[in-house]
Structure 1
């Protein structure tokens, strides 16, 4: 996904610490996040670095890949805000990687660069509306087409219905994605669309939505391939028009981190704020 970075153009007149930036990022539900931090039930927090360091620049990204870390440093940022874990799992389990050479090299890079990495996952999802969902809906131009909204899903009604294949192609273009995965009949008419981001494309959230008569297609980031796709397959065999489009986890959540960069640039006038897109993690051959 190639998008232009968001930057603030004013002169910096105030110094901010990493701790102050974190307090701003976790503002959505301060009590809940602090309670989760005290009990170890949130993944949010400072992954690397020191909280009282002065911020010289901020970069946001979906994940802290080695390339993203290097690019953030090259652009003058010493704070990187990411949505997913930096060491290959949702919950921090870096102790099991102690002797792993890839882990060791990444740690060395982070230390040499002096990058302060903040994990922002739970707090941005706790915003109402969900901050990651807001980014995706905004990128697709669907904010005004939302007809129903709950904590983890939104339902959009298109002004002009599209066939399933057309919708998938349009999404691919809008998100600058390498590919889309879809299940259903290509010519199925889609007007009411349920949207889920990230790893919510499984049975728990998806089946109640696909089971609704007024939902034509479900769009999600990713989920188990033997849950919703199998439901859609059986629905079609029964003559029910249902469709499923999987965007990819990063492709569904990156717009939210770009949207976050725009918000931070407005919050910290004069402080350079940049969004760095992650390259696609898979290629289709």
Structure 2
């Protein structure tokens, strides 16, 4: 749910696809590697590779994983299912499941919950017809759904953040020593919003600030970091603008409003949770291309659940 572009840990076993490069060079190599297109068909087939083997392969590249009390568990299916195709997505919606079926894919790697709560606890949904419909659809087609949340966020830098930097063409502005505080060429808040909407294909964003304000120091917190963290980082890092996924309106927005009343030049841009973290699912396509050659991998964007009038 939340993302943090923390400094890189120079460990040669950290991730095979970073290799033996230095701190900054290693990150640059990873970030500059083009992600695969929406659908990638690779040439070397993987004979009888299972869901569990792919999960284990990813977790081996993150020190400490699997983590205790993690939400990164299978939500349907089992580890022994032989993978015929993979779909990466932010949410394993019914629409995404149906597309996976049409593609012949039986393994969905989702970033967020499948069953409407953080832990995917389903006892309270036992008699709910929407839950039952979705569960039966997955069971009928023997589809495994694995949530990759805690693990991808624990990469250094954060895998979701890497995907977002790539999509925004902000790779060169990332510095390990400053993490999620980026220094971009000075631009107006209005122009910055236009860039974000274009690059992330967002119809509208919510914001606080003077459209003419100059923005250069950008605090990037995709996902739902929470009000305390958002406010604490604004207080200590003093950005011109916070770009985040979502907020509690009674927390972060009110802090920024009061900061402006105090005279601070601080702005806020709220992208939406899906828009800010979906690039992490594209990051996974790149990882699959490099680590699981031979299996067809497709990124499916779930779209925004909310519409604008």
**Is TM-score (shorter-chain normalized) higher than 0.5?**
yes
Q: Distance in 2 between matches of 1:117 and 1:148?
A: 33
Q: Deviations over 1:202-245 (max 9, x none)?
A: 33221122224641001111121111111111111122110011
Structure 1 partner of 2:267: 243
Distance 1:97 1:213 in 2: 42
1:101 aligns with 2:129: yes
Partner of 1:154: 180
Alignment match of 1:24 (pick from 47, 57, 82): 57
| Corresponding position of 2:206 | 181
In the TM superposition, residue 247 of structure 1 has moved relative to its aligned partner by: 0.7
Counterpart Cα distance in 2 of 1:82 and 1:187: 38
Is 2:282 the counterpart of 1:258? Answer: yes
2:252, 2:261 → 1: CA distance? 14
**1:14 Cα deviation (Å)?**
3.0
1:122 match: 150
Q: Name the CA distance, whole Å, in 1 between partners of 2:91 and 2:177.
A: 27
Paired residue for 1:166? Answer: 191
Contact 1:58 1:78 in 2 (8 A): yes
Cα–Cα, structure 1 residues 148 and 187, in superposed 2: closer, same or farther, change >3 Å? farther
Gaps of 5+ in 1: none
The answer as to whether partners of 1:178 and 1:283 remain within 8 angstroms in 2 is no
TM-score by length of 1: 0.91
The answer as to 2:76 corresponding to 1:48 is yes
- 1:12 corresponds in structure 2 to 45
Q: Which runs of 4+ in 1 moved over 4 A?
A: none
Pick one of 50, 65, 71 that aligns with 2:93: 65
2:302 counterpart SS class: coil
Give the alignment's Cα RMSD to 1 decimal: 1.7
Residue 257 of structure 2 is matched in structure 1 by: 233
TM-score, structure 2 normalization: 0.84
Q: 2 CA distance for matches of 1:273 and 1:100?
A: 32
